Amino acid sequence: MKFIVTPSPLGGSITAPASKSHTIRAVFIAALAQGRSVILNPLDSADGRSALCAVAGMGADVEVAPGKWTIDGVGGHIQAPACPVDVGNSGTTANFALSMAALGIAPIYLTGDEQTLARPVAPLLDVLSSFGARITSNKGMLPARVEGPMDGGAARVDGSTSQYLSSLLIHLPLAPRDSQLTVPSLNEKPYADMTLRWLDDMEIEYEREGYELFRVRGRQSYRCFTRLVPGDFSSATFFACMGAIPGNSVSIRGLDFDDSQGDKAVFDYLEAMGASVDRGMEDVRVTGGELIGARLDLNATPDALPAMAALAAMAQGTTEIVNVPQARIKETDRIAVMAEELAKMGVDIEERPDGLVIRGGGIKGAKVRSHGDHRVVMSLALAASRADGPVTIQAAEAVDI
């Protein structure tokens, strides 16, 4: 499928979709719990469905209705399915499912789509192996065979992506032994905060020393719950950036600035670049201004890189996006992909190991590719809205993720 985007101004209001990160955490914790949990306002997307399929494959009973998912958990008794657990395109689901499989006692096979099979999971597999799980994989990537049970223990955790740590924090409370996790340098800290808030709400016992050391008591259990999933700041990023374009104004409903989602920092980035942000009780309104380049440290908000790169192409001066090397191990290498595709649109853009340098100026109509990445699709559409002619985005069906 392809999108053809014709440049035009934009205004209006929109309700933010539900948070994917919260939805996937809710699905896995509900699956591990004893009893029936109800997830209200889940993000019903391909990634959310992948999470549901993964936990259903390992024994959870899942019922899907509009705006409501009901999950009867396994209470820690993981079952081995006859067929491989397919995590689709969801990297978070892949990492969480690996730890869930390691709690079982029979072999579980995990696989995913082409992009997921290219994403490294070796750092997580190494920790699970050190805790007693027996694992074979494709050179540290999926497909993998996981045979538990893991016992827990002490391990050093790679902090290049927060998903490894979050996966362990969610599943180690069910291990028979206490665990200690040392994380030398953690990227994406707000996602770890989100996981820890879930553990707090579930009354899971743990201790922490900053983001460097975590002690998790074993032999715990999750209780069932009913939970409303909040709006997604990550998805709202694209609408907020659209509102920040000169001549535009967008109101976004359904966002809770008290939530732990790191991508709420995007509104600070927009203000730094010259947009007006009005945070109200019911909504947040972003109004375009004369955009100027800025230095943006996106270590805590890697998912914002594609959209901020697109917006930077419209700003006067130079924008530096820095300290976000983990953007290279998302659904795609988003640093390389955004550099390649924006260059096709005439943008003066330079790739760095940990980010991008964008010199604002004109954006040209062009044919570009999504590389199968939903955030790339939306970011290219954002840039296309201010191009000097139509932009055709190939493989635009990736937005379903």
Q: Give DSSP secondary structure letters for 189-208.
A: HHHHHHHHHHHHHTT--EEE
Which of these three, 167, 183, 214, is where a domain ends?
A: 214
pLDDT in the model for residue 398? 79
Quick one: 28 and 161 in the same domain?
A: yes
Q: Work out how many domains the chain is built from and give that number.
A: 2
65: in domain: yes
Quick one: 160 and 292 in the same domain?
A: no
Quick one: 10 and 55 in the same domain?
A: no
Which of these three, 214, 246, 263, is where a domain ends?
A: 214
Q: Which residues pair with 50 in a beta bridge?
A: none
Prediction pTM value: 0.94
Quick one: 27 and 176 in the same domain?
A: yes
- Amino acid at position 71, single letter: I
Angle among Cα 155, 157, 159 to the nearest 5 degrees reads: 165
pLDDT in the model for residue 365? 96
Quick one: 124 and 209 in the same domain?
A: yes
221: in domain: no
224: in domain: no
308: in domain: yes
Quick one: 194 and 291 in the same domain?
A: no
Tokens of 243: 């509102």
Quick one: 238 and 205 in the same domain?
A: no
Which of these three, 214, 244, 274, is where a domain ends?
A: 214
Of 176, 47, 50, the closest CA to residue 102 belongs to 176
Contact 163, 91 (CB under 8 A): yes
Quick one: 24 and 140 in the same domain?
A: yes
238: in domain: yes
Contact 331, 369 (CB under 8 A): no
- Amino acid at position 241, single letter: C
Burial class from Cβ neighbours inside 10 Å (0-12, 13-18, 19+) for residue 247 reads exposed
> What residues contact 352, with CB distance under 8 A and at least 6 apart?
322, 335
> What residues contact 160, with CB distance under 8 A and at least 6 apart?
123, 187, 325, 326, 329
Asked if 303 is an active-site residue, the reply is yes
Quick: pLDDT tens for 237-277. 999 999 999 999 999 999 999 999 999 999 999 999 999 99
DSSP 77-135: -----SS-EE-TT-HHHHHHHHHHHHTSSS-EEEE--HHHHTS--HHHHHHHHHTT-EE
Domain limits for position 327:
2-17+230-400
Quick: pLDDT tens for 286-331. 999 999 999 999 999 999 999 999 999 999 999 999 999 999 999 8
Quick: pLDDT tens for 324-360. 999 999 989 999 999 999 999 999 999 999 999 999 9
CA distances from 119 to 77, 196, 306 (A): 28, 25, 19
Quick one: 386 and 238 in the same domain?
A: yes
Rounded Cα–Cα distance for residues 220 and 1 (Å): 47
Quick one: 254 and 146 in the same domain?
A: no
Interaxial angle between packed helices 334-344 and 305-312, expressed in degrees from 0 to 180 and rounded to the nearest 10: 30
Quick one: 105 and 61 in the same domain?
A: yes
225: in domain: no
Quick: pLDDT tens for 106-152. 999 999 999 999 999 999 999 999 999 999 999 999 999 999 999 99
68: in domain: yes
219: in domain: no
pLDDT in the model for residue 401? 64
Rounded Cα–Cα distance for residues 295 and 275 (Å): 15
Quick one: 39 and 186 in the same domain?
A: yes
pLDDT in the model for residue 397? 84
CATH number at residue 108: 3.65.10.10
List the catalytic residue out of 47, 86, 303, 373. 303
User: What percent of the chain lies above the pLDDT cut of 90?
Assistant: 94
